[in-house]
Amino acid sequence: MDWLGPEEWQAVRLSLKVAFWATVFSLPPGILVAHLLARGEFAGKQVLNGLVHLPLVLPPVVTGYLLLVGFGPNGPLGAPLSVLGISFAFRWSGAALAAAIMGFPLMVRAIRLSIETVDPKLEQAAATLGASRFWVFATVTLPMILPGILAGAILAFAKAMGEFGATITFVSNIPGQTQTLPSAIYSFLQVPGGEGAALRLVVVSIMIAMTALITSEILARKLSKRIGGGS
């Protein structure tokens, strides 16, 4: 397709990469936190719950700013990490971190809702068959919540494709490194007459999101066919 310039193609590729890794890396902690919130009983549960929802409640710029403060080179998290050679500043990994954090509440909610509807009687049955808590989770709960995990992943992915405020504030907009589709779209919208160019990128965004959505729907249908029908 030659109606997108090379920089725009770069933005598309980068957005896909960022959204993909943001989703993949937030899945394990997302499942863990969702499980803790759904089934755990511990002090500070509400604090964890609040923390997870924070990126939803705060304007994205604030989240981006907090990320900058925390993960910047002198930040309380950034400084020790940079000693280990891990740096998010101005890198695509930072964009992925921002996207992951912004999508985290959506992912956790979806997974948590699924966990809450798994019948504890089945988990009990697995326990009587010798499965420890870990194995009950791995062999019964996890497979049964796959549709919820998929829903959470697709929400996180879609959010990551659209995330702008936190990303640009945290890792700015460096073509080829941190310029995602939304940053590019935003740039076009800032200048008079840029709507046409923005529209092209919006269409690309929508196409990617629709592809991801439909794929996830097909997968979900397969999964629920497998599970469907009750015990």
Partner 1 sequence: AEQVTVFAAASMKTALEKIIDDFEKASGIDVTLSVAGSSVLARQIEYGAPADVFISANSDWMDHLENAGRISGESRVDLVGNTLVLIGREGGQVEVSENLNLLQLLGSGRLAMALVEAVPAGIYGKAALTSLGLWDDVQTKVAQVDNVRAALALVAQGAAPIGIVYASDAHADPRVVVLGQFPKMSHPPIHYPAAVVTGRMTNGALSFLNYLQSQPARAIFGAQGFQVLED
Partner 2 sequence: MIDVTLRHQFGETNLDVRFDAPAGLTVLYGASGSGKTSVINAVAGLLHPDQGRVVVGGNVLGDTAQNIWLPPHKRGLGYVFQEARLFPHLTVRQNLAFGEWFARARAPVASFDHVVEMLGIGPLLSRRPGTLSGGEKQRVAIGRALLARPRLLLADEPLAALDEARKAEILPYFERLRDEVALPILYVCHAPAEVARLATTVVALDHGKLMRVGPAEDVLGDPSFSPQGPRAVGAVLHATIARHHDDGLTELNAGGVSLFVPHIPHPVGQNLRLRIAAQDVILARDVPKEMSALNVMPGHVNDIRLGDGPGAIVALTTPAGKVLARVTRRSALAMGLAVGQPIFAIVKTVAIAPQDIGGPRA
Contacting residues toward partner 1, per CB under 8 A: 61, 64-65, 68-69, 72-75, 89-90, 165, 168-169, 171-179, 183, 186-194
> Under the criterion CB under 8 A, does residue 139 sit at the interface with partner 2?
yes
Q: Which does 158 bind (CB under 5 to 8 A by kind): partner 1, a copy of itself, partner 2, none?
A: a copy of itself
Stretch in the footprint of a copy of itself (CB under 8 A) among 27-35, 75-83, 111-119, 135-143:
111-119
Per the listing, tokens 């304007």 go with 59
Give the list of residues 6+ apart from residue 171 with CB closer than 8 angstroms, or none.
88, 89, 90, 91, 92, 94, 95, 98, 178
Q: At what angle do helices 181-190 and 146-162 cross, to 10 degrees?
A: 30
Q: Which does 127 bind (CB under 5 to 8 A by kind): partner 1, partner 2, a copy of itself, none?
A: partner 2
d(CA 198, CA 12): 13
d(CA 88, CA 165): 16
CB of 62 within 8 A of CB of 163? no
Residues 113-172 binding a copy of itself (CB under 8 A) are 113-114, 116-117, 119-121, 147-148, 151, 155, 158-159, 161-165
Quote the least distance from Cβ 125 to partner 2, whole Å. Answer: 4
Query: Which positions touch partner 2 (CB under 8 A)?
Result: 121-122, 124-133, 135-136, 139-140, 143-144, 226-231
